[in-house]
Structure 1
Amino acid sequence: MNELTRQALLGTGKSGPTPESESGPVDDLCNSIPAAPLSTESALLLKLGATAVYEAAGIEPNTVPAIEPDHDDSACPWSDAASELLEQAFSKDFVDVAPELCRKILDANHVLPRAILPVALDTKSPELRSKITRCLGCRGRWLAALNPEWNWAISSETSVNENSSLPELKRQWDEGTIAERRAVLRKIREIDPTQGREWLEETFSSDKANDRNNLLQDLEENLNADDEPFLIQCLKDRSKYVRTTAIELLATLPESEVVERMKIRSADFLLKTSSPNEDFKLKCVPPETYPSEWETDGIPENPTSRKGQKSHWLDWIISRVPPRTWTDRFDCTPEQLLNGILNDDWGPVVILGWTRAIRRFGLAEEDVVLWGRPMWTYWMAMLQHNVSQVRELAGATLSDLLGMFPEEMRESALMKSLREVHEPTILPISDLLTPLKTPWSRGFADAFLSLARNLLRNRNDQKVVHWMACLKMAGAGIPRESFPEAMKPWNTHSGQRNFWDSAAIDKLIQELHERVKLRERFYRELDKMTAAE
């Protein structure tokens, strides 16, 4: 705060007369005004006003260093039409198409055209940014360095590249910013997990609490049993966030001491009640009290949601026990487990815990089908539950489960459910399409479009309108071979719907067509470039 502003805020009665200053443009201007001697207040106001006018008139520009010329990517002759299409794809209305176009550019061994680099660098989507950094080219990286808001494109994520040597990584680890160090840790954990952990141990105690927590989270890359001693040390960290992260990481190591204690605790919760000649049946006996030693393993005494204490403890512990523990303990299949607990009063809580455990520990290849199918069937049934929160949980869980399936199984599992479910509109279709790899296979795309057409042709209720919101995703997901099928006229039975529903469906079909047209035109331009090389 300068002296004039301070004096104005305090008042002349407290700050005294206007201070004398060295002769300058403002003083010369004030002194040139012929008038009787001014009061202290008037002199201050005059000087403030003259200063404001003087500063508004402008200042001499500072000398800036010359910008070094860029390295031109002249070997990439983009047409104006292709550049315009990419610019359209990077706009907010079509940003869902842009990742695939970036992928196509990479596959063709090209970089983004120079004309759209500013538009591309302005993007905010993390997913799209990761694609852009790989096809920026020399000019794009040069341009990104000139604007602080574009530094994400040349920051730690790109500075740590595939060819970085171990000494170079160590230098960046020792000298870099926290963002750079995190990128180095993730990279070195890919190459040598032990080396990465040892580097972290050397500096961990001297890092700030927030940095320690972030770096510890990055230790998740290739987490293994050798990391357990260090994580156990972190349980004594002075930061509760670091301790929580350490507990969560330990709870993902199937053989860690924390998980072993969870296994022991959970053994009392589920009891087999069926005799050898009866159908497999389980009974759940939830914990009645909160033992003090639970706090050591990070088990909260009180739930953060409206869930009851017993449900909270049961879910928390079971979700931290590897799924195979139960099939080994009871010598049964996952399907028998689910059917055995299904009718128990605590069955939904137990099954939710098993589902969370699958997310936490993942599934071995041989267990994907064994666990995936009964879990999928159960949560599909929960989509028809009369409580909306349960339906929402079921939709999110199904999307997670689908993401755990091998890529070659996802489309078939989803299409099977779409065909077999009596009411396709109960499926949160947009959530379930998200885990699918794009572009979709032609078989899945054509079957999906056929189902969508049938729903529009045969029904005119509000549920169909909401379901059709996925057509926008379809415009970015269907393969080129399915473009003709998507562009055929759609029978919407607009005369049987109210005006607003008809307008909504027409807009969704238009969005589908716009995406298909944009992609097809871009493919053609890319084909021309490839043919000319």
Structure 2
Amino acid sequence: MTRTTTPTSPATPTPTAPAPWSDLVSAALLGTERRTPPVAARPAQTAAAALLDAAAVSTVRRRAALRPAPAGERPAPAPADPRPPLPPAARRRLSLLLADRGGNGGGSRRGTAPDLTELLPQWLAAAGTYGYRAPEALLPALLDAARARTDLRPAALALAGPRALWLARLNDEWKFALRGTGGPSALPGDDDPEAVRRRWEEGLFAERVALLTALRRHDPAAGLALLTTTWSTERAEDRLMFLDSLREDLATGDEPFLEQALSDRSRNVRATAAELLSALPGSALAARMAQRAHTCIGLDRTAGAPVIAVEAPHECDMGMQRDGVAPKPPSGRGERSWWLSQLVEATPLDGWHARFGGRDAAAIVALPVGDDWRTELHDAWCRAAVRQRNADWARALLGAPAAPSQAAEVTPAGSSRDLTKLLTVLPEDERARWVAEFIAAHGLSEAFRMLGVCAVPWAEPLGGAVVDALDIARDAGSYPWSFSGVMGLAERCLDPAAADRLDMLTAVTDEPEGASPGSGGYWSEAFQRLVGTLRLRATMRREFTPPPAGDTTGPGADLDTAAAAATPGGATPGPRVP
């Protein structure tokens, strides 16, 4: 009796679902004549060939530790980026900077090589002014760099463009790019108010903040109207962020909305609304605060020479609290002085001129203050000058930078004033001159934060003042690592054109008596690194300009020279990235 074997046929998975490995093994052991392979064969393909193909794919999956899963839909093609590509030299430079973003290691001695980690932000900022797009092959590395350093994200995402957002939707590690899309480019078309409304009501929180900011820059009244449509239903933390986005383009038309926000159920929202209203000198809140502050502060002429008399408030009533005065002081602070400082900070500075007999800001600041209220009063005026962006008062409160006692005068013991914030109120050129004179008179120890708010590159005489102070510190035998922060700022902020005249500082000098051992060599390395970094920055800037057709000696030819200067001993680094 002949026995007939009928091939068994397990349930064949769908074409998109991979077969289990055990089923593939069973079909292979029994043979395709006895066991139908659990895979779909292509046209004109034998069952055995289909089985082998499926086994090969499954083997790769197993070696990659990838779970079998149905094939997903192919993503839509990346959007086009119409911006011009980077010139070849600039493209190679970006590749080198991204490859070296690990820095110079954790050693305490940096040597003479420029810090490429710190040059990447400068490169990105410069690239943003030319309107180039990032090379597609470097987008993953650029997104990785932006993920690791939040300070790079705005410039990196601007350079990466829409294709970076396309990639971010495919990789969870780059999701930050979807949250960080802001600025005017986030505003839909002017003729599509429905798109604005839909994004406002349905978008992610960061997208809504970006939309509100962009709309406020375009049309402040329209932005405020959009905010009011959902204000009452927003969470307290979201209301606070939305309210803070009004700060940049604050206008008198915002006053009614902010007055209503003074009664918000969130204390932080009320405080922010009061701060914004106090920055509007013509607001009703500013007038109320001025009336309270002027009641507490005035001239006392009974002692002969005019003296500012201060009588701090004796209570913080409900009206003061509604206008943003916090009733409970910080630890170690008296209640009355706390209330007074908040009143003065929120009072329009222009109103003090009439209160003090028509005196200008400098004359008012020069007046003596009775009963040891001077520091408290001047600190509050400093904060008011910053909040109201009043350059006259900032100038008066800063005083003359070169005065022998100025360093102690502008920041007396117990003071909470911030000179750096005051400097930001001054025009950029005046700010740089003030800091240069301060450094020339008092050195670098008190000027580090001031340097951070000066425009880059440092204009003269600021750049010269910093270099002179560093040279003086070297000649005095000071510890060079004590000035590493300032030296790092100089590498990023000095004008690259200063490199040639700084060459003389790179030589190793004799160490003065009592100097730190080996300080001469350290200082020489620091100045060599400074000069090398400045020259590398100049080369980077030239690389953004494409060379004329057929020119092989243009900016791209500088790359090898600059790269050699960027490595210890002048050795050229590894092979170029094409």
Q: For this structure pair, what is the TM-score category when the shorter chain's length is used for normalisation?
A: 0.7 to 0.9
Q: State the secondary structure of the residue aligned to 2:367.
A: helix
Q: Is the 8 A contact 1:362 1:404 kept in 2?
A: yes
Partner of residue 134 from structure 1, selected from 158, 170, 173: 158
**Residue in structure 1 matched with residue 494 of structure 2 by the alignment:** 478
Label 1:335 to 1:274 Cα distance change in 2 as closer, same or farther (>3 A): farther
From 333, 343, 346, the equivalent of 1:317 is 343
CA positional deviation for 1:74: 7.6
> Is contact 1:315–1:350 with CA below 8 Å preserved after alignment?
yes
272 and 197 in structure 1: CA distance in 2 versus 1, 3 angstrom threshold = same
In structure 2, the residue corresponding to 1:307 is in which secondary structure?
Answer: coil
Tell whether 2:335 aligns with 1:327. Answer: no
Q: Name the SS of the counterpart of 1:332 in structure 2.
A: coil
Amino acid at match of 1:351: H
Map of 1:166-185 to 2, 5 A cutoff? 166=190, 167=193, 168-185=195-212
Take 1:448 and 1:159, find their aligned partners in 2: how far apart are those partners?
Answer: 35
CA shift, 1:269, in A, is 1.9
C-alpha separation in 2, matches of 1:386 and 1:333: 19
2:297·2:308 contact (CA, 8 Å) conserved in 1? Answer: yes
| 1:186–1:218 contact (8 Å) kept in structure 2 | yes
Task: Call closer, same or farther: CA 1:173–1:309 in 2, change over 3 Å.
Answer: same
Task: Verify: 1:431 aligned to 2:439, yes or no.
Answer: no
**Counterpart of 1:299 in 2: which secondary structure?**
coil
> For the structure 1 residues 182 and 225, does the alpha-carbon distance in structure 2 shift closer, same or farther, using more than 3 Å as the test?
same
CA shift digits 1:434-491 (9 cap, x unpaired)? 111112225532343233223322x1245x7534530111101112211223344346
Counterpart position of 2:394: 372
Partner secondary structure for residue 133 of structure 1:
helix
For the structure 1 residues 495 and 314, does the alpha-carbon distance in structure 2 shift closer, same or farther, using more than 3 Å as the test?
Answer: same
CA distance in 1, matches of 2:512, 2:202: 68
C-alpha separation in 1, matches of 2:429 and 2:172: 42
Please tell me the residue identity of whatever aligns with 2:94: S
Question: Which moved further from structure 2: 100-109 or 158-167?
Answer: 158-167
Q: Which has the higher contact order (CA 8 A, sep 6+)?
A: 2
- Report the CA distance between 1:414 and its aligned residue: 1.4
1:109 lines up with 2:131 in the alignment: yes
Letter aligned with residue 479 of structure 1? D
1:415 maps to what in 2? 436
- Work out whether residues 216 and 245 of structure 1, in 8 Å CA contact, stay in contact via their aligned partners in 2: yes
Deviations 1:243-302 (A, max 9, x none): 2322222222222232222111111222212379x6543122222333343222232222
Partner of 1:233: 260
Verify the 8 A CA contact 1:322 1:358 in the aligned structure 2: no
Q: Please provide the CA RMSD for this pair.
A: 3.5
**Aligned-pair CA distance for 1:351:** 0.2
Conservation of the 8 A alpha-carbon contact between 2:278 and 2:348: no
How many residues align structurally? Answer: 468
Counterpart in the other structure of 1:288: 314
Q: Distance in 1 between matches of 2:365 and 2:521?
A: 45
Question: Normalising by structure 1, what TM-score?
Answer: 0.77
For 2:500 and 2:372, the matched residues in 1 are separated by: 52
Deviates more, 1:329-338 or 1:124-133: 124-133
Cα distance, 1:153 vs. partner?
3.2
Gaps of 5+ in 2: 1-19, 23-61, 104-114, 552-578
Q: Which residue of 1 aligns with 2:143?
A: 121
Give the alignment's TM-score, normalised by structure 2: 0.71
Give the aligned residue type for 1:525: E
Secondary structure at the residue paired with 2:263?
Answer: coil
Residue of 223, 248, 260 corresponding to 1:196: 223
Alignment of 1:125-524 (within 5 A): 125-155=149-179, 157-158=181-182, 161=185, 164-166=188-190, 167=193, 168-274=195-301, 279-330=305-356, 331-342=358-369, 344-363=371-390, 368=391, 370-377=392-399, 381=405, 383-384=407-408, 390=414, 393=416, 397-419=418-440, 421=441, 423-427=442-446, 429-441=447-459, 443-457=461-475, 459-461=476-478, 466-467=482-483, 469-490=485-506, 493-494=510-511, 496=513, 497-499=515-517, 505=523, 508-509=526-527, 511-513=529-531, 515-524=533-542
Change (3 A) 1:527 1:187: closer
